[in-house]
A and B are shown apart, each in its own frame.
Chain A
Amino acid sequence: MNDKIQKLNSIIKELKKSFTKKYGCVIFDISLKKLKQENQIMLSGNCLTAKQLELLKKAVKSEIEGADVHYDIRVLTSQSSLHHLKCWGRAEKFIVNVTSDFEGEKLSTQISPDDNYFKIILQKNFRSLVQLDDNTVGWLDDNNIYVFKKDLSETWDNLNIVRKGDVKTVNSIASLIDESFPYINQARYLHGGKSAVAIDCSALMQTIFRRAFGLILPRHSLDQMKLGIRVPKNDLQNADLVFARSNRNKIMHVGLAFFDEKRMIIHACLREKMVICESIDVFFKYYTFAGARRIVKEEK
C-alpha cells in the first residue's frame, strides 16, 4: 500500500509540474488520504480543467494496479463551479490576445468587447488567467480588460451552447452564409486568430454561428466535431460542418458547406492563407474527409 501511495504522490507531482509549465499557474492541489477500508485511497482537492482530472484518472488507472481510488476533486472551470468565482471581465480593446501560456507567446484565441463576460480564475503579475464562455482557458494582459468585482454568472446561465445530438431549428440558413461573406477573401488565416482581420478555421465557424443564430460552439475543430448529428459524406447539405484532415498531417480542419447552385465550401484556408470559398471537389484534393455534422436545420 505504501508503494502505491508513493507512486500516486509522484503522479500528482509530475502532473502538477507539467500543468504549471503549460498554464503558468498551479491550480492542481490534490491531497491524498487512506480510507478505513483496506486498499481504498481518496484523492481530493481542486484542479483547473476537466482535462486535468481526466489525465489524472488515466495516469492512476494505468500505473496503479489493485488500488481502489476515489475522487473528490472540484474542477474550477466546470459549470457547477461557476458560482464560486465572483470576478468577471470583458475585453476593453478591439482585439485582445488570449494565450495558452503565461508568457503570452502561444496564441490560443482572441476576444473583443462584443464577446460575453469571461470568468477570471486568478491574477498574477498584471496577467489574468480567464475562462471564456466557450470554455477556452488562457492568459491575457490586465491592461486590455475591464474587471467587474460583482457576480455576473447570470450572463452565463442562458448561453445557447450546442451539444451532441442538438440540431437547432433556425429561420433561415442564408443568414449563416451572409455572416461568412465579409470574411471571404478579406480575412487572412491566423492560427488562434478570431477577428475580422485574421481568423482560423474553427473560429470562423464559431463566429458565424454566433452572429447568425447566437449559438456557442467550442473553440477547437475536434470538439466541434462532437456536436449535433453525424452526416455521411454523400448526404451533405447547406450549412453542415465539414471536417477534414490535411493530406500532409493530422491537423483537423473545418469548413462550412455552401450548397447553393454549386457545391462549395467556406473555410479559413492555411494553403491560401485566407478565408476562401472553393469547390468541394477542389477542397478534397488537399484534404481527407474526416466527418460532417449538422447542427442547424431550416424551419419548414
Chain B
Amino acid sequence: MAKCPECGEFVKLLGDMEIGEIIECDTCGVELEIISLDPEKIKIFEEEEK
C-alpha cells in the first residue's frame, strides 16, 4: 500500500504493476506514477505540455 500524496488515502498496488505505470487514486482521482515497488512509492503524475 502507498499513500496518495494528494488526499492521503491508501492506494493498493497490484503485483503485476510496473515502475512507470500511471494509476488513478480511487478516492480523489488524481493520476499517480509508480516510482518504486519495494518499498511501494508513488508520486503525482503531471504531464508535460506538448
Name the distance in Å between B7's Cβ and chain A's nearest Cβ: 11
DSSP majority for the B interface? loop
Q: Is B47 in contact with chain A by the CB < 8 A criterion? A: yes
Q: Is A297 in contact with chain B by the CB < 8 A criterion? A: no
Contacts of A290 in B (CB 8 A): 20-22
Q: Is the CB of A232 within 8 A of B47?
A: no
Contacts of A191 in B (CB 8 A): 50
Contact of B48 among A233, A234, A250 (CB under 8 A): A250
The total of interchain contacts (Cβ-Cβ below 8 angstroms) comes to 35
Q: Is the CB of B46 within 8 A of A250?
A: yes
Cα distance, A243 to B47, chains bound together (Å): 13
A225 in contact with B22 given A232-B16, A234-B16 (CB within 8 Å): yes
Contact of B22 among A234, A249, A291 (CB under 8 A): A291
Q: Is B18 in contact with chain A by the CB < 8 A criterion? A: yes
A222 in contact with B47 given A233-B18, A234-B16, A289-B18 (CB within 8 Å): yes
Contacts of A233 in B (CB 8 A): 16, 18
Cα distance, A191 to B47, chains bound together (Å): 15
Cα distance, A240 to B6, chains bound together (Å): 30
DSSP majority for the A interface? mixed
Contact of B21 among A250, A252, A289 (CB under 8 A): A289
Cα distance, A223 to B46, chains bound together (Å): 13
Name the distance in Å between A116's Cβ and chain B's nearest Cβ: 25
Q: Is B1 in contact with chain A by the CB < 8 A criterion? A: no
Name the distance in Å between B45's Cβ and chain A's nearest Cβ: 8
Q: Is B24 in contact with chain A by the CB < 8 A criterion? A: yes
Contacts of A288 in B (CB 8 A): 20
Name the distance in Å between B26's Cβ and chain A's nearest Cβ: 11
Contacts of B22 in A (CB 8 A): 225, 243, 252, 290-291
Name the distance in Å between A218's Cβ and chain B's nearest Cβ: 14
Q: Is A282 in contact with chain B by the CB < 8 A criterion? A: no
Interface residues of B (CB under 8 A from A): 14, 16-18, 20-24, 31, 45-48, 50
Known: A222-B47, A232-B17, A252-B47. 6 other contacts (CB 8 A): A232-B14, A233-B18, A245-B20, A250-B45, A250-B47, A291-B22
